């Protein structure tokens, strides 16, 4: 560990400020790392270009990611994987010192074909020993990459050689299997896609691959905390947190495959896609026979697994795909926040400001406004929630992305603009005439409620045809409850 570059006097002057967390974390980040070897990964949002030449398969797209280049030497497909420290941006505003591969968090996607002989050199540029485990790949035991069990650990500076023949196809993964908690929680993982040698059906029109993971990054810190057991606060798709995630794109009618992998330290994820149902067609254990597939809108992603889903993108629009565990679509500041929902904050700010200058009560109506308030967030942290959307601020962030399906896509391969809903297909404030026609008295009732000083009142317009109101609304107690909400 490097000696502290901070003098005692510096320390005490910092200790009185909120800035303390940042230099303290930097100090830890400097431990044993060689800055010259630290590249930066920001997650590409450029149109995807396969890394290598003719491949014999339709390459997968790793949004925000890359594919590991390879070359053929005497009939063997040769890769070079480099574990190393990486300065990584999770989304604009949050950068941390991680560990990854080949300058990226997570590592680049490895792609090959069933039957390939692959030779993967691993050069360890970390200050710590490591190994690489090929998760789900069928191979000889000595190539399995488990430190201490199947091999000696790869010491800093050493290059090991893994070589095996691919006997299967599917969506698999790779990750460190030495000091797993530290190394994986700092980002050391990637996807390993093996295409079938003899496909039973044509490849999908769009083939996406996404790795899910979770992190603990204290607000303002530069180093993810690998010792965290339960309270994760940054949730990512391919190492990016919305609004840092690149959208998935499809042309109307495309057959879309999304390969999902989960190597989160502790969490399973419930990945939900709007607009479609899909079928889970494969796991990292292989293809699921057609008779065993069933339609879903949410796929459960146990940690240490992959699931491959397929659907036909036949409905244009902007469709979100996100984890349905709702703390996984929040970021750092949504956690450990007092529950202030429904409090009367009148006078509270004024009472506290003499003690805490600039104090502002937040959260009395929920967290939805937290990203949109235009408030400065602490240095190197993300607002609690998402980013600007077409109509409003998007109140989800984290493990969240958007599938953009269009009749026509931009010719240059760029991401389409927001979807413009055709007339009559967009939810909007209800016109008075429609409310009247349909006997809906809510709008008028709300206005009356305020005028009467929040006293309960009849919600159902007595003049409206009774047949249109639900039986619940016609019960007096139910009316009162709704009026008070």
Contact call for residue 307 and Cu ion (CB under 5 A):
no
The CB-of-245 to Cu ion minimum distance in angstroms stands at: 14
Nearer to Cu ion, 169 or 328 (CB): 328
Stretch that binds Cu ion, among 85-93, 181-189, 264-272, 469-477 (CB under 5 A): 264-272
Question: How many residues bind Cu ion, per CB under 5 A?
Answer: 4
Which of 139, 396 has the CB closer to Cu ion? 396
323 binds Cu ion (CB under 5 A): yes
322 sits near Cu ion (criterion: CB under 5 A): no
269 is an interface residue for Cu ion by CB under 5 A: yes
Stretch that binds Cu ion, among 155-163, 181-189, 323-331, 412-420 (CB under 5 A): 323-331
Task: State which residue, 325 or 352, has the beta carbon closest to Cu ion.
Answer: 325
Binder of Cu ion out of 325, 348, 409, 435 (CB under 5 A): 325
- Contact between 28 and Cu ion by CB under 5 A: the answer reads no
By CB under 5 A, tell whether 328 contacts Cu ion.
yes
Residue 325 Cβ vs Cu ion, minimum distance, rounded to whole Å: 4
Residue 80 CB-density burial (10 A; 0-12 exposed, 13-18 middle, 19+ buried) = middle
Rank residues 240 and 269 by Cβ distance to Cu ion and give the closer one.
269
- Which range in 177-185, 317-325, 366-374, 428-436 contacts Cu ion by CB under 5 A? 317-325
In the complex with Cu ion, the residue whose CB is nearer, 143 or 325, is 325
How far apart are CB 184 and Cu ion at their closest, in Å?
Answer: 16
Q: How far is the CB of 288 from Cu ion (least distance, A)?
A: 22
Stretch that binds Cu ion, among 173-181, 267-275, 339-347, 468-476 (CB under 5 A): 267-275
Residue 160 or 215: which CB sits closer to Cu ion? 215
* In the complex, least distance from residue 260 CB atom to Cu ion, rounded to whole angstroms: 11
Query: Which of 57/235 has CB closer to Cu ion?
Result: 235
Q: Interface with Cu ion includes 301 (CB under 5 A)?
A: no
Pick 38 or 268: Cβ nearer Cu ion: 268
Write down the least CB distance from residue 237 to Cu ion, Å: 10
Residue 145 or 398 with smaller CB distance to Cu ion: 398
In order of 15, 89, 235, the CA distances from 266 in angstroms are: 33, 22, 12
CB of residue 267 vs Cu ion: minimum separation in angstroms? 6
Residues of this chain that interact with Cu ion (CB under 5 A) are 269, 323, 325, 328
């Amino acid at each position: 560990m490097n000696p502290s570059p901070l003098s005692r006097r510096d320390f005490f002057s910092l200790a009185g400020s909120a800035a303390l967390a940042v230099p303290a974390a930097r100090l830890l980040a400097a431990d044993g790392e060689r800055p010259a070897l630290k590249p930066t990964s920001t997650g590409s949002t450029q149109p995807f270009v396969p890394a290598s030449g003719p491949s014999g398969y339709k390459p997968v797209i790793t949004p925000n990611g890359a594919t590991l280049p390879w070359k053929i030497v005497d009939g063997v497909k040769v890769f070079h994987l480099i574990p190393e420290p990486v300065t990584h941006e999770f989304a604009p505003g949050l950068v941390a010192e991680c560990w990854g591969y080949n300058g990226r968090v997570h590592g680049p996607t490895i792609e090959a074909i069933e039957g390939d002989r692959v030779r993967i050199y691993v050069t360890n540029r970390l200050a710590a020993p490591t190994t690489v485990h090929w998760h789900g790949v069928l191979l000889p035991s000595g190539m399995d990459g488990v430190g201490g069990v199947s091999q000696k650990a790869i010491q800093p500076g050493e290059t090991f050689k893994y070589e095996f023949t691919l006997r299967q196809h599917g969506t698999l993964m790779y990750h460190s299997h030495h000091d797993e908690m530290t190394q994986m929680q700092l980002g050391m993982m990637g996807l390993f896609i093996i295409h079938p040698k003899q496909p039973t059906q044509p490849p999908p029109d769009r083939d996406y691959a996404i790795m899910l993971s979770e992190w603990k990054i204290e607000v303002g810190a530069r180093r993810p905390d690998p010792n965290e057991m339960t309270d994760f606060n940054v949730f990512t798709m391919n190492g990016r947190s919305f609004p840092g995630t690149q959208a998935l794109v499809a042309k109307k009618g495309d057959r879309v495959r999304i390969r999902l992998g989960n190597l989160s330290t502790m969490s399973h994820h419930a990945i939900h896609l709007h607009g479609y149902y899909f079928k889970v067609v494969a796991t990292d254990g292989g293809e699921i026979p057609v008779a065993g597939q069933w339609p879903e809108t949410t796929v459960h992603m146990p940690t240490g697994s992959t699931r491959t889903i397929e659907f036909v993108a036949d409905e244009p629009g902007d469709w979100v795909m996100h984890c349905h565990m709702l703390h996984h679509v929040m970021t750092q500041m949504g956690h450990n926040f007092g529950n202030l929902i429904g409090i009367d904050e009148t006078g509270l700010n004024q009472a506290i400001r003499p003690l805490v200058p600039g104090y502002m009560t937040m959260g009395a109506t929920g967290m939805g406004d937290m990203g949109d308030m235009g408030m400065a967030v602490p240095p190197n942290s993300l607002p609690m929630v998402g980013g600007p959307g077409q109509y409003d601020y998007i109140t989800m962030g984290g493990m969240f992305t958007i599938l953009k399906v269009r009749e026509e896509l931009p010719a240059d391969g760029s991401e389409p603009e927001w979807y413009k809903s055709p007339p009559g297909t967009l939810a909007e404030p209800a016109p008075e005439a429609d409310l009247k026609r349909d006997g809906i008295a809510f709008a008028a009732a709300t206005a009356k409620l305020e005028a009467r000083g929040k006293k309960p009142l009849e919600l159902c317009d007595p003049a409206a045809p009774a047949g249109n109101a639900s039986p619940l609304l016609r019960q007096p107690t139910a009316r009162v409850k709704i009026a008070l909400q």
